[in-house]
Amino acid sequence: MEILLSEDQIQRRVEELGRQIEADYQEKHLTIVAVLTGSLILLADLIRQIHLPLRVALLQASSYKGATTTGGALILNEAFAPDVAGRDVLLLDDILDTGHTLGTLVRRMGERGALSVKTAVLLRKIGRQQVHLEPDYCGFTIPDRFVVGYGLDYDDDFRHLPHVAVLDETNLPK
Ligand code: 5GP
Ligand code: MG
């Protein structure tokens, strides 16, 4: 597999993002709402770079694999994100692709009474976005390839790689 982002590169960038977030959330009521499962590793690394009082909440979002892929219908499990009312929410996801996931979640956090809602992603894919949304914090912009590692999976494998790699799907038995 071709390594796109090394462990070192990612760690350095996550540190920078942590410092930025730390500066921006002084005196705020920060709740980081991480989108499972892809943002798990980023969450663990990032929160250890933010030296502020903060809460962590989790939710799971899976896109509905129906006849249409453009509707952005999401199945949400919010059981572990009970407490966002009055909080400054920072939504955290692994990758911004079409934008449907984060677009929907930003709206949802507003409906649930968040004081403010911002977004942070490790990766943003070029040329794929359908929903207008500028992530407030973005680790890296990457070409339109399918990537795995550092939380991102293929068929529930590869999440544990410390780097981000391009998956050559033609080489995989399926
Ligand atoms: P969006 O709603 O922005 O289209 O999709 C975001 C979700 O699609 C991500 O949270 C991630 O689960 C998945 N995704 C998009 N591109 C990739 C990719 O290159 N690799 C992996 N593993 N997942 C991806
Ligand atoms: Mg995801």
E-strand ranges in 15-156 read: 30-36, 55-63, 74-77, 88-96, 116-125, 137-142, 147-148
What tokens does 103 get? Answer: 């677009």
Non-local (6+) Cβ contacts of 171 within 8 A are none
Please tell me the number of the ligand nearest to residue 100's CA.
1
Q: Which amino acid is at 8?
A: D
Helix (H, G, I), strand (E, B) or coil at 156: coil
Measured CA to CA, the distance from residue 124 to residue 127 in angstroms comes to 9
Does the pTM exceed 0.75?
Answer: yes
Q: Is 110 buried (19+), middle (13-18) or exposed (0-12) by CB count in 10 A?
A: middle
Catalytic choice (97, 136, 156, 157): 97
Matching residue, tokens 């410092």 = 19
Ligand 1 pocket check for 38: Cβ under 6 Å? yes
Q: Is 153 a catalytic residue?
A: no
Per-residue pLDDT tens, the chain, 174 aa: give them. 999 999 999 999 999 999 999 999 999 999 999 999 999 999 999 999 999 999 999 999 987 665 444 555 889 999 898 889 999 999 999 999 999 999 999 999 999 999 999 999 999 999 999 999 999 999 999 999 999 999 999 999 999 999 999 998 776 655
* Residue 145 tokens, joined: 């390839």
- Among 4, 68, 97, residue to substitute to test ligand 1 (most atoms within 8 Å of Cβ): 97
Residue 141's H or E segment, with its range, is: strand 137-142
> What is the rounded distance in angstroms from the CA atom of residue 54 to the CA atom of residue 70?
35
